[in-house]
Amino acid sequence: MKCLVTVILFFLWMVSFCSCRLLSEATGRRFNVLDYGADGNGKIDATPAFQKAWGDFCQASEEMPTLVVPAGNTFLLKSVTFSGPCMSKNPHVLIEGTIVAPDSFDSWDGDDDYENWIGFTAVFGLMVDGGGKFDGQGEAWWKACNDNDSACSNRRQALHFNKCNGLRLSNLHHVNSQRGHISINACDDVQLSNLQILAPDESPNTDGIDISGSNHVNIQDSFIGTGDDCIAINGFSTYINVTGVKCGPGHGISIGSLGKDGAYETVEEVHVKSCALKGTQNGVRIKTWEGGSGYVRKITFEDITFVNSENPIIIDQQYNPNGIRGSPGIKISDITYRNVHGSSADEVAITLDCAGKAACTNIVMDNVNIISSNPGKQIRASCNNAKGTAISASPMVPCLSS
User: Catalytic site residues?
Assistant: 251
- Helix, strand, coil: what percent of the chain each, to 5? 15, 50, 35
CA of residue 255 relative to chain centroid, distance = 12
Q: Are 79 and 109 in contact (CB under 8 A)?
A: no
Q: Are 305 and 269 in contact (CB under 8 A)?
A: no
Distance (Å, whole) CA 235 – CA 262: 13
DSSP string, 329-362: -EEEEEEEEEEEEEEESSSEEEEEE--TTT-EEE
> 134 in the Ramachandran plot: left (φ > 0), alpha (ψ -120 to 50) or beta?
beta
Distance (Å, whole) CA 105 – CA 178: 11
Q: Residue 35 contacts by C-beta under 8 Å, 6 or more apart in sequence?
A: 53
Query: What's the first-to-final CA gap in the chain, in angstroms?
Result: 85
Distance (Å, whole) CA 219 – CA 213: 16
* Cis amide leading into 321 (omega within 30): no
Q: Residue 14 contacts by C-beta under 8 Å, 6 or more apart in sequence?
A: none
Distance (Å, whole) CA 103 – CA 176: 11
Distance (Å, whole) CA 334 – CA 297: 5
- Residue 106 buriedness (CB in 10 A; 0-12 / 13-18 / 19+): exposed
